[in-house]
Amino acid sequence: MSRDNSDRTLARRTLLRGAGAIGATLVCTGLASASSGDAQYLVSTSNAKARQRIERAGFTVRHVLAEGSVAVVTGPAGATDELRGIGSVSAVTRDVTVELSPPEVDADASSTPGEDAALRDLQWDKDLIRASEAHEVATGDGSRIAIVDTGIDLDHPDLGNVNEDLGAAFVANDDVPEIGPGDSGYHGTHCAGIAAATGEVGVVGVAPEAELVPIRVFPADGGATFGDILKGIDYAAEIGADVANFSLGIPGVQQPGADLNKLKANVQRVFQSAVRRGTVITGSAGNDSGNLQQGGGFTLPNSVPAVITISATSPADTLSFYSNYGTSDIDVAAPGGWYETIPRTLGETGEPDDIPYPFNGVLSTWPTTLDSSVELPGYDFISGTSMAAPQVAGLVGLVRSLDADLNANQVESVVERGADLTDGKSGYQFGAGRVDAKETLSLVDDT
């Protein structure tokens, strides 16, 4: 596809209904309940006897996480104090339900890629991080990437590296149990392709020979519970995943006194346990243009030390206008799509060689059962920090394929040292910098 704007007329369009309309974010919709109608709780425990004591008290333990230190428990509403009174229980928090908020873009692009277009040529994101050059050194062979999300399209021709047998679904109120780890929406399939599409037909991921494991935590209609999201991360560590990607985060910058802060300790316990077991965790920074470095603000689940938190960059290597930022949270940046302003994204301002909308989003795999907005069945462009995080997950797969013995902290270190655009880990927009796959791999032997 030509990237020359001279033969296009880009219609004036409304890009966003709100900041949460990029890629997909999570909207907190209320307190979590199990399919039985019982309330769901996150329970911190101090020893292995807690589960038996909780069950003897009449509660049900759905998941045991973080090597036994966190339990997802269901029981009557209003039983927080009763649970706290059980021996070996140190803290109790009501779980919450979160739903994906899909993009709401009203656009009418005047042209689409031709029938014979080479889709790799549309993957500007892979050019920026020098993925093709990195593939001369490593392709991810032998590494395992878990996608904790809506599942993955198990029939996509560019996702033939999915391990369906290891795939799992952890969904409290599952309305599509028959699909197992298949995609209940679109988000997980898009993230999976960014990380590790094989390039068999249309697009290539950062680690095209890595193994993908789909871990579905969302029903087709409704929300995921934090308990199930945490179970997905815990399961990724249990099966020895080299990296677990979650492109999920509650929108808005939370303040230290917020109710959601009560969940933070359990998130940290589960994530730190996964990291101890060798699984690197990559997470999206959030799409609220939010400042995470002032006043103790945070987002969940990514604002814990165990996560590599990733901001989103544009085709011009600028911070995408929607991306959260802040030295306290951002570890590295990666291509997520769109430009630093809405007018430049729409082509109303900018440079002559800017990529036109919607092609300045990130192209990746799309469920074959859904329509493509650019009339490319099985592929579509969307943008967000959701798209930035799996770029880094794929890079972790490349690193681990070169040296499987590196621990999670060593992997994060080499990714940060290989990043570009900033001097050291100090940039409030990009952390250590925008990732560079070729440079990162050149540093693995020195780690």
* pLDDT (mean) for 90-107: 69
Residue 190 domain-assigned? yes
Given 135, 156, 187, 190, the catalytic residue: 187
**For residue 320, what pLDDT is reported?**
96
Q: Same structural domain for residues 248 and 212?
A: yes
Q: What is the DSSP letter of 349?
A: S
- Whether 72 and 125 map to the same domain: the answer is no
What pLDDT, in 10s, does the model give residues 384-439? 999 999 999 999 999 999 999 999 999 999 999 999 988 766 788 999 999 999 99
Active site residue 190: no
The answer on 429 and 328 residing in a single domain is yes
Asked if residue 6 is part of any domain, the answer here is no
Give the CA distances from residue 128 to residues 194, 336, 393, 434, in Å, rounded to whole numbers and listed in that order: 14, 11, 16, 9
Domain match, 64 and 123 both: no
- Whether 149 is a known active-site residue: answer yes
CATH of the domain at 152: 3.40.50.200
Q: Which residue has the higher pLDDT, 58 or 4?
A: 58
The answer to the question of residue 21 being in a domain is: no
* Whether residue 392 is found in the same domain as residue 428: yes
Does 256 share its domain with 397? yes
Measure the CA–CA gap between 421 and 20, rounded to whole angstroms: 27
Average pLDDT, the chain: 85
Final residue in a domain of this structure, among 63, 94, 125: 94
| Sequence-separated contacts (24+) of 66-69 with Cβ below 8 Å | 66/234, 66/266, 66/269, 66/270, 66/272, 66/273, 66/274, 67/273, 69/44, 69/45, 69/269, 69/273
Asked whether residue 275 falls in the same domain as residue 406, the answer is yes
Instruction: Tell whether 22 is covered by a domain.
Output: no
| 49 and 174 assigned to the same domain | no
- Please indicate, yes or no, if residue 14 is contained in any of the structural domains: no
For residue 386, indicate whether it is catalytic: yes
Residue 80 sits in the same domain as residue 129: no
In a domain? residue 395? yes
35 and 147 inside one domain:
no
State whether 285 and 149 are in the same domain: yes
> Which pLDDT does position 253 carry in this prediction?
65
Q: Which CATH number belongs to the domain containing residue 47 in this structure?
A: 3.30.70.80
Range of the domain at 37: 29-94
Q: Give the three-class secondary structure for 370.
A: coil
pLDDT at 255: 65
Among 221-235, 247-261, 387-401, which is the least confidently predicted range?
Answer: 247-261
Please indicate, yes or no, if residue 18 is contained in any of the structural domains.
no
Residue 25 scores a pLDDT above 70: no
Residue pLDDT, tens place only, 139-198: 999 999 999 999 999 999 999 999 999 999 999 989 999 999 999 999 999 999 999 999
280: tokens are 């690197």
Task: Provide mean pLDDT across the span 281-288.
Answer: 89
Report how many domains make up the chain: 2
Give the residue from 82, 77, 81, 95 showing the smallest Cα distance to 36: 77
In a domain, 442, yes or no: yes
Which member of 95, 125, 149, 288 is catalytic? 149
Q: Which of 303, 320, 364, 386 is catalytic?
A: 386
The two structure tokens encoding residue 213? 């494991």
- The reply to whether 135 and 211 lie within a common domain is yes
